[in-house]
Amino acid sequence: MLEIGGGEVLAGAMAGRRDLGRLLERSAAEPAAPGPLFLDFMGIVAATASYLRESIATFRSMIRGRDSLYYPVIANANEAVRDELLELARARGDVFLTCALGADGSISAAALVGELEEKQKLTFRLVQDHGETDAGELMRKYGEREKVRHATAWNNRLSALSSLGLVIETRQGRLKRYRPLLEGV
């Protein structure tokens, strides 16, 4: 993000829209397999909510909306950037996945910024616990306990989590399977 934004302070909606274009250019070619696309904030001192809204939030919505194999993750954001991200998440009723990314590619401190609604939070935890699952499996194991009558409800929750970039969706014919994007969130 330091290179894309051209400096250590990322501010303003216009700059965010400019950098959205740069992010889209860099992600035009799809990867061979689904996985995280780290938006590395190392060296960024501050980023305003308006910048994050026009760049990062819009980028994630566009990427996930086109069923990309990229799943954007905000990496190495300092406390000031996370605070602005939290304000943005609260204002939008949104959630973002963050982590620390080492120079060697190691991932640690994975966390959600923002709040999932209760049923999505439960579904997210179940995907984390199972490692990989699908709506039918969740229905069989938890449908009665959670008073869910149809697998469609689980499928809608899983699909929403994928749209937020929190879980990876893979298709096996008509069946959709879901697994955590990052472990230990």
Whichever domain contains 14, its CATH number is: 3.30.750
| Domain that includes residue 153, residue range | 116-185
Question: How does pLDDT run across 122-172, given as a tens digit for each residue?
Answer: 999 999 999 999 999 999 999 888 888 888 899 999 999 999 999 999 998
Residues 100 and 127 in one domain: no
- Structure token digits, residue 62: 């566009």
Place of tokens 């939008």: 92
Question: How does pLDDT run across 67-91, given as a tens digit for each residue?
Answer: 899 999 999 999 999 999 999 999 9
3-state DSSP call for residue 134?
coil
Residues 110 and 123 in one domain: no
Q: What is the pTM of this model?
A: 0.92
Number of structural domains, the chain?
2
